[in-house]
Structures are given as C-alpha cells and as structure tokens.
Amino acid sequence: MRHRTALPLAAAALALPAGLLLAGPASAAPADKPQVLSSWTQTSASSYNAWASARANQGAWSAYGFDWSTDYCSSSPDNPFGFPFASSCARHDFGYRNYKAAGTFSAHKSRLDSAFYEDLKRVCAQYSGATRTSCNSTAWTYYQAVSVFGVAPAKAPAGLAAGV
C-alpha cells in the first residue's frame, strides 16, 4: 500500500511546481511586485529581454500597476548619431519611475544606472571598428549624465533631466 500512496503524492508534488510555472503573470500575486521589478531591472541581457517581453504585453501585468510611461532619453536624443538608444532609455525610465513609486529609489539608483549602461553597450556591440568606438563613447556619456544628474522624476530640480 505504501507504494500506491507514495506514487500519487510524488506525482502531485511534481505537478504542483509545473502548474505554478504554467500560471501566467495575470494570476501571480501582486505581493511579488518587488521581485518582478527587481528581475526586470538587473544588468543582464536576460533581464532586459524579460522586461522587453513584458513591455510588449503590458496587459498581462496590469494587476501589478507598473508605470510603463517613458519620455525615452528625456532632453537627449533617443538615437544619437543613429545609435538606437530609445529602448534602453525606456527601461531606465521604467526602473526610475517604479522604484520612485515604491519609495525605494535611492537604494536602487546605482543599479538602474548600471543596467542602463549595460543596455547601451549591448546596442553598441552590434557595430564594429570606429562606429563601435563612437557608440561606446556616446553610451559612456549617457551613463555619466544619468549617474550624475539622474534624479527621481518627481524630485527633479528645474533644468535637470528626470531619468535619462
């Protein structure tokens, strides 16, 4: 009898995690919002890709109440010298706005700025030679600007960029 009882219990134990993995974001508890936000604002390409996928399907994440608004690269060009930085700027705005709303912006600003720089460098990696060098120099300039002047959107002093 033990084997008959153990087998259904083992099958149920294996099915439970699989069922949880199949559950979509709409069924996820908003209590995990900080973890989701953190997972989308890391420096890795996989973090960027997860955020981009969610951004393309924002309705599935509506229960979380994320602020998806963006002004892209604020007062700087979104595509300086033809380099497509707009999506990197949008993710940076996402991090700034949502951590500001959570009241934990200052604890995450440095990582958000670093993730922004890594995103920009991934854009630049598609180029070679002098074009890549130019792109990387522009990325460094954008990173330095947000590192020094980037502030929470609601607290931006007059004349300073809110975000990027």
Tokens of 28: 């996820």
* Report field, pTM of the whole predicted structure over 0.85: no
Q: Report the pLDDT value the prediction gives residue 158, as an integer from 0 to 100.
A: 45
Q: Please list the active-site residues.
A: 92
Has domain 33-155 been given CATH number 1.20.90.10?
A: yes
Name, in order, each residue with C-beta under 8 angstroms of 145's C-beta and a sequence gap of 6 or more.
76, 161, 164
Span 1-53, pLDDT tens digits: 444 444 343 333 333 333 333 344 545 448 999 999 999 999 999 999 999 99
Gap between the Cα atoms of 67 and 92, Å rounded:
12
Q: Which of 103, 127, 118 is nearest to 51 (CA)?
A: 118
Q: What is the domain partition of the chain in residue ranges? A: 33-155
Gap between the Cα atoms of 94 and 61, Å rounded:
14
Instruction: Confirm if 73 and 149 have CB atoms less than 8 A apart.
Output: no
Span 79-112, pLDDT tens digits: 999 999 999 999 999 999 999 999 999 999 999 9
Model confidence at 120: pLDDT above 90: yes
Instruction: Confirm if 142 and 163 have CB atoms less than 8 A apart.
Output: no
Gap between the Cα atoms of 121 and 110, Å rounded:
17
As a whole number, mean pLDDT of residues 49-62 equals 97
Name, in order, each residue with C-beta under 8 angstroms of 11's C-beta and a sequence gap of 6 or more.
none
Helix extents (H) in the chain: 2-22, 33-39, 45-56, 86-102, 105-124, 129-149
